[in-house]
Amino acid sequence: MMYGISSTAWLKQNILFALEEETQFISSRELTQIVGDYSQSTIKKICRELQEEIEQTYPTDISTLIIDQRNGIKLTRQSSINYQKLLASIFSAELGYELLQQLLLKRSISTVAFCNSHYISESQLRRKIKDINASLKKHNIHITLSNDITISGEEYKLRSFFFVFLFTVHRQFSFISWAKNKSTVIQLSEQIASQLAIEADSRTIEIIALWVFITISAMKYGWTLTYTEQEQQILESFTMPKRPAFLTDWKDEDWQLFVMAIYSSDIIDFHLQVNLASLEQVLPLQDAEIWIELFEEKFLPLTDIQQEFVYKKFVKQLLANYFFEPDENSLNNFTKRYSEELKTLYPILFDKYNSLWKTFLQKTSETSYEYFQIESLLLCFYLVPRKIFFPRIKIFIRSDLTFLYTKHIEFRVSTRFCDQYFIEFTTDIHQADIILSTAALKEMDDYVSNFNNLVPIILINSKISENDFAKIEDALIQLTSTLLIETKKTAI
């Protein structure tokens, strides 16, 4: 499994995420179908383990996992918490976590001591290292085993992966139980934030503190940074703020990597001036022009300000990919299931985006855009107005109600589906994609009835009901499916 974390730990996370989507009780059979790849008995067993872990982590009135033989399973929590603390507890108890934590901190540890302290054999350790190495390959990091267990790779890659590792599991520096001198690290982070004119709220300080901790830990053990000529040119393409005088033990290389990490992460609101002419000699910035061209072809023209925004995102993406090789799934918990949910919710945008992304990969020389695939999708969501990526549906209402009550029905329908469809109400029945009527079909004139073969006619109650909404939604889904087919034919 990824980074040596057991399948059980990942399954617990998947179950938590699945139950978070449910507001009512769900049977273990239904949960098994949602999670997939596991038996119902395994799901029941893991749920019981989760129930105990939730009880140990949170007071009963804050969160509880209800397992009822008659009603099923339901997860409840107060709005004052999420499950990051619980997940951190689950992942940090893993052997893979213990091994990576010690290696990233010390770089080399005794094989015998580690095996004895964790009650495992050397052969078990060897299998775990093989598992972890498979995930570390993309980071150009490798663990070897002999008398000592040693992790090796470029120093900046080791520090970068250390951040991804800690941020993925703990999210906040203060949640790391084994970290020492926390108050000193937090204080230093606040000073740096002030020096860089970064808003010093707790969220920002917690993220900066992770990098401060990683940097001072590396200096403590004497791990120094060196850059190639190309890497140095990348760094020199940016106007770096001067290293603060109070960072007496830091070298310029430590400060450069720290600043670049904060900038390229795109988590903290922090800006650097960049010499694009210098940077484009070593990074494929022309790919931003290709993306913009394809976006405008698939969606709509961008303003100069929007194009500048896209360029900045590309700069950060290319920097992150070069120095930090991030994992978007780990950093943002952007799961495949969530991606499928978005595809179902916004089929028009997804269809156009998939075409954009496929062509983009064909036209670019950069092979490491896997991370940017998700960022690129989110960039489309950010740039595209809702009326563009929502299916545009025109509805005609034939009503035997008062003017204001008819308008109220329009309001109920539009607000009910506003997060998935761009709905317009028309007074011209010939333009309608759907006809809603409060009058019984037998009372409708032949002229309107003839439309039934062309567009769906849905009879609704004067007090619109959930069943009415369900029928309208069925028609909207069918119309969207038809629209997608027509769009693809037009594209061909």
Residue 205 C-alpha from the chain's centroid: 21
Summarised one tens digit per residue, pLDDT across range 367-387 is: 667 667 888 888 998 998 877
Contact 238, 231 (CB under 8 A): no
In this structure, the answer to whether residues 422 and 355 fall within a common structural domain is no
pLDDT (mean) for 199-216: 92
In this structure, the answer to whether residues 352 and 421 fall within a common structural domain is no
Number of H helices, E strands in the chain: 23, 9
Inside any domain, residue 253? no
The pTM of the full predicted model, rounded to 2 decimals, is: 0.81
In this structure, the answer to whether residues 371 and 394 fall within a common structural domain is no
Identify the pLDDT of residue 336: 61
Max Cα-Cα span within the chain: 90
Query: Rounded distance, CA 42 to CA 10, Å?
Result: 13
State which amino acid sits at residue 309. Answer: F
Identify the pLDDT of residue 61: 79
In this structure, the answer to whether residues 403 and 361 fall within a common structural domain is no
Q: In what order do the strands lie in the sheet with 108-110?
A: 108-110, 148-152, 142-145
Positive or negative torsion for Cα 198, 200, 202, 207: positive
Q: By C-alpha distance, which of 475, 439, 474 is closest to 459?
A: 439
Inside any domain, residue 312? yes
**Based on the structure, what is the number of domains in the chain?**
3
Query: Rounded distance, CA 70 to CA 461, Å?
Result: 35
Identify the pLDDT of residue 303: 95
* Residue tagged 């015998």 (tokens): 112
User: Which stretch of 51-55, 244-248, 449-453, 460-464 has the lowest confidence by average pLDDT?
Assistant: 449-453
In this structure, the answer to whether residues 358 and 417 fall within a common structural domain is no
Statement: residue 488 has pLDDT above 70: no
Range of the domain at 317: 283-387
Residue where a domain stops, chosen among 82, 105, 130: 82
* Residue tagged 């990969």 (tokens): 361
In this structure, the answer to whether residues 54 and 70 fall within a common structural domain is yes
Q: Which of the four pLDDT bands, split at 50, 70 and 90, describes residue 486?
A: low
Query: Rounded distance, CA 177 to CA 154, Å?
Result: 27
Summarised one tens digit per residue, pLDDT across range 223-276 is: 999 999 999 999 999 999 999 999 999 999 999 999 999 998 888 889 999 998
Q: By C-alpha distance, which of 307, 273, 277 is closest to 290?
A: 307
Residue where a domain stops, chosen among 61, 82, 103: 82
Identify the pLDDT of residue 333: 55
In this structure, the answer to whether residues 365 and 417 fall within a common structural domain is no
Identify the pLDDT of residue 451: 58
Statement: residue 100 has pLDDT above 70: yes
Residue where a domain stops, chosen among 82, 108, 135: 82
Q: Which of the four pLDDT bands, split at 50, 70 and 90, describes residue 147?
A: very high
Query: Rounded distance, CA 289 to CA 276, Å?
Result: 13
State which amino acid sits at residue 261. Answer: A
Q: Which of the four pLDDT bands, split at 50, 70 and 90, describes residue 168?
A: confident
**Tell me, what CATH number does 407's domain have?**
3.40.50
Q: Which of the four pLDDT bands, split at 50, 70 and 90, describes residue 210?
A: very high
In this structure, the answer to whether residues 349 and 396 fall within a common structural domain is no
